[in-house]
Amino acid sequence: MARSIVSTQSIGLAAFSLLAIQLPLVNAVFLNSASDLPTNATPFDFIVVGSGPGGAVVASRLSENPQINVLLVEAGPSDEGVLEIEIPAFAATAPKTYEWNTTTVPVPSLNGRSVEFRRGHVLGGGSSINGLVYTRGSAELYDGWARMTGDNGWSWENIQRYIRKNEKWMHPNSRRNVSGEFNPAVHTFNGAVSASLGNEPDYLFDRLGLDSAKLQDEFTFNLDMNSGNALGLGFTQWTVGDGQRSSAATGYLNATVKARPNLTILVNTYVTRVLSDGTGKNIRKVEIGDRSTSTVDTVLSHNGWGKPK
């Protein structure tokens, strides 16, 4: 949630080209390697670098317009058919292949240790490998961002329409009685990313926690941790629907979206550089290649393939 769409991993690059020759694109363009890119492809209107919660959403929303031709480039592989990604209980066992293997600098408050800093290297980015806890953040956090940026669009109140638009609240994939365990008034049921309470009903552990919540005032029972008030004891909500992980990839790059002829998804491909058009103002090309090669395989440009300026 915290990474904004202008982060380095998800820059939407405009490459406007009104004179583009419209060559037909094949249906459902999902490419596993940069070498599969057709050399005579239509120039792209937008190139989105990185397919995490920022890039996947931008590419998905832009390609809703059939007039806009979008390329989404992801360094890692596809998430599809990877059981450790799909099955929530397997989350901790996902192979490191799907991560960037980054660690932090030594952290003074951790006694100087450097710790793992997990980042997804797979379609869907971090949302394909994270621990699936559905946390919106607190109202205070968003209001803090609004104050810091001077942009009231970030306020808790104003961000609600996007939070709601994103969410598809579902009943757990079990007969758990969820009444009194979340607040339906703060959830919506038609968005892209599924969220639900866990399948397991009424753990003894939960009961003990909730009983202790009644005995003291500091951490009281919180009906819904995603209501803007994240303090207290309440039931964990998960980005899980129908027993499966719901991610930026499953939510925003589902089969229907992948079938759009004007969206090309290219995985296993590193963007090595973004290039200015020389004016210092516009970025209209990206270099792509294999991370293991220092030379550049291909140059993407609004002028077409293989025609670097």
Chain positions contacting ligand NAG, by CB under 6 A: 25, 42, 66, 69, 96-97, 99-101, 121, 177, 179-180, 192, 254, 256-257, 260-262
Closest contact distance (angstroms) between CB of 292 and ligand NAG is 10
Residues 6+ apart with CB under 8 A from 164: 188, 191
**Does residue 43 contact residue 303 with C-beta atoms inside 8 Å?**
yes
Which residue, among 92, 75, 73, has the nearest Cα to 84 in the 3D structure?
A: 92
- Judged by CB, which is closer to ligand NAG: 159, or 257? 257
Q: Which strands sit side by side in the sheet containing 298-300, from one edge to the other?
A: 270-276, 283-289, 298-300
For residue 255, the minimal CB distance to ligand NAG (Å) is: 6
Least distance to ligand NAG, CB of residue 169, Å:
15
Question: Which CB sits closer to ligand NAG, 113 or 165?
Answer: 165
Beta carbon nearer to ligand NAG, 96 or 113: 96
Measuring CA to CA, which residue among 265, 276, 277, 307 is closest to residue 34? 265
Q: How far is the CB of 105 from ligand NAG (least distance, A)?
A: 19
Residue 43 or 228 having the CB closest to ligand NAG: 43
Q: Smallest distance from the beta carbon of 181 to ligand NAG, in angstroms?
A: 8
Name the CA radius of gyration of the chain, rounded: 22
From edge to edge, which strands make up the β-sheet containing 12-14?
A: 12-14, 46-49, 70-73, 263-266, 29-31
Q: Are 182 and 225 in contact (CB under 8 A)?
A: no
Is 145 in a helix, a strand, or coil?
Answer: helix
Based on CB atoms, which residue is closest to ligand NAG, 146 or 266? 266
Residue with the shortest CB distance to ligand NAG: 262
CB of 264 to ligand NAG, least distance (A): 9
Rounded to an integer, what is the distance from CA 120 to the centroid of its chain? 9
Shortest Cβ 236–ligand NAG spacing (Å):
18
CA distances in angstroms from 292 to 172, 268, 270, 295, 296, listed in the order given: 43, 12, 9, 9, 11
Of the pair 121, 187, the CB lying nearest ligand NAG is at 121
Query: What is the H or E stretch that residue 201 is in?
Result: none
- Of 71 and 146, nearer to ligand NAG (C-beta) is 71
Closer to ligand NAG by Cβ: residue 21 or 148: 21
| CA-to-CA separations, 56 to 125, 127, 254, 261, in angstroms, rounded | 9, 11, 10, 16
Location of structure tokens 């397997």: 90
Question: Measured from the CB of residue 155, what is the shortest distance to ligand NAG in angstroms?
Answer: 25
